[in-house]
C-alpha cells in the first residue's frame, strides 16, 4: 500500500532551514560581539597601561626637574661660599700688604726721589712725589718693575716741572710725578715662586718691613731724598 504525505513538508523544511539560518546568524553576532568586546578590552588595557607609563614618566621628569633645580641652587651656593672663602683669604693675605709695600718702597726708591703721598685702591698703588730729574723717575720705574719682589707693572701717569720751597730764588725746580704700580698678594707671589721664579730674600723683606713698621722707621722713605734735593740745589 502506498502512503502519500500530503502535509506541507517543503514549507516545514524551509521554515526549519530559516530558523537554523537565524540561529546561526544570531550565534555569529554573539560570537562577533564577544570578539569585539575582547579586542576592545585588550586595546583598552594596553591604552591604560601606556597612560600609566606616561603618567609615571611625567612624574619622574617633574621630580628630576626639581632635583636639577636643587643641584643648580647648590652649585650657586657653593660658588658663593667659594667667593666668600676667597674674599676671606684675600683679606687674610692683604693684612701684611702695607708692611711689604713700605719695605719695598724703602728698597726701591732711588736717591733724588721724594714721595709725599701714596694711595692704594685694590691691588694698585698710586705714588705721588718729586724727583730731581726725569732720569730719577726712570730709575724708579725700572726698580719697581724689575727689582721688586712685591711690586709689578709700574705705569707713569704724569710727570711735570714744578717749583717747591717758596718763590723766587728760594724755590727749587723739580719734577712732580704720579706713578701707578701693582702690588702682589702673598698667594700670587707664592704661586709665582713655586713656578720657578723664587724671590730671593723674601723672609728678610718681611722681617725688615715688620721691624720698620714697629719702630716707625718707614717714614724716612720720603725724608731721605729731601736732603738730597736740598744738597742738589
For residue 93, the model assigns a pLDDT of 66
For residue 37, the model assigns a pLDDT of 94
CA distances (Å), 65 to each of 57, 60, 72, 191, in order?
A: 12, 8, 10, 41
CA dist 200 and 56 (Å) reads 68
85, 93, 112, 231: which is closest to 175 by C-alpha?
112
CA dist 72 and 78 (Å) reads 10
210 or 118: whose pLDDT is higher?
118
Mean pLDDT of 34-44: 94
Mean pLDDT of 65-82: 91
Asked if CATH classification 3.40.225.10 holds for the domain at 97-232, the reply, yes or no, is: no
CA dist 113 and 129 (Å) reads 7
Sequence spans of domains, the chain: 9-94, 97-232
Tens digit of each residue's pLDDT (9 = 90 or more) over 179-228: 898 888 776 666 566 555 544 444 443 333 333 333 333 333 333 343 33
pTM: 0.45
CA distances (Å), 8 to each of 20, 21, 185, in order?
A: 18, 20, 126
Angle at 51 between CA 48 and CA 57, to 5 degrees: 145
Amino acid at each position: 500500500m502506498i502512503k502519500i504525505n500530503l502535509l506541507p513538508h517543503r514549507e516545514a523544511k524551509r521554515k526549519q532551514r530559516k530558523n537554523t539560518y537565524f540561529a546561526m546568524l544570531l550565534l555569529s553576532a554573539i560570537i562577533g560581539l564577544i570578539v569585539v568586546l575582547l579586542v576592545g578590552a585588550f586595546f583598552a588595557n594596553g591604552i591604560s597601561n601606556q597612560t600609566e607609563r606616561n603618567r609615571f614618566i611625567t612624574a619622574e621628569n617633574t621630580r628630576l626637574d626639581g632635583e636639577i633645580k636643587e643641584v643648580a641652587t647648590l652649585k650657586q651656593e657653593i660658588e658663593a661660599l667659594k667667593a666668600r672663602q676667597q674674599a676671606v683669604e684675600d683679606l687674610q693675605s692683604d693684612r701684611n700688604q702695607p708692611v711689604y709695600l713700605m719695605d719695598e718702597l724703602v728698597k726701591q726708591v732711588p736717591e733724588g726721589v721724594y714721595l709725599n703721598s701714596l694711595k692704594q685702591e685694590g691691588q694698585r698703588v698710586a705714588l705721588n712725589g718729586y724727583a730731581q730729574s726725569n732720569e730719577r723717575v726712570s730709575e724708579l720705574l725700572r726698580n719697581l718693575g724689575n727689582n721688586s719682589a712685591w711690586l709689578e707693572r709700574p705705569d707713569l701717569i704724569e710727570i711735570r716741572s714744578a717749583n717747591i720751597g717758596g718763590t723766587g730764588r728760594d724755590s727749587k725746580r723739580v719734577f712732580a710725578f704720579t706713578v701707578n704700580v701693582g702690588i702682589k698678594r702673598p698667594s700670587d707671589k707664592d704661586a709665582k715662586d713655586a713656578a720657578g721664579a723664587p724671590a730671593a730674600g723674601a723672609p728678610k723683606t718681611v722681617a725688615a718691613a715688620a721691624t720698620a713698621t714697629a719702630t716707625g722707621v718707614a717714614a724716612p722713605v720720603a725724608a731721605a731724598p729731601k736732603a738730597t734735593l736740598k744738597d742738589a740745589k
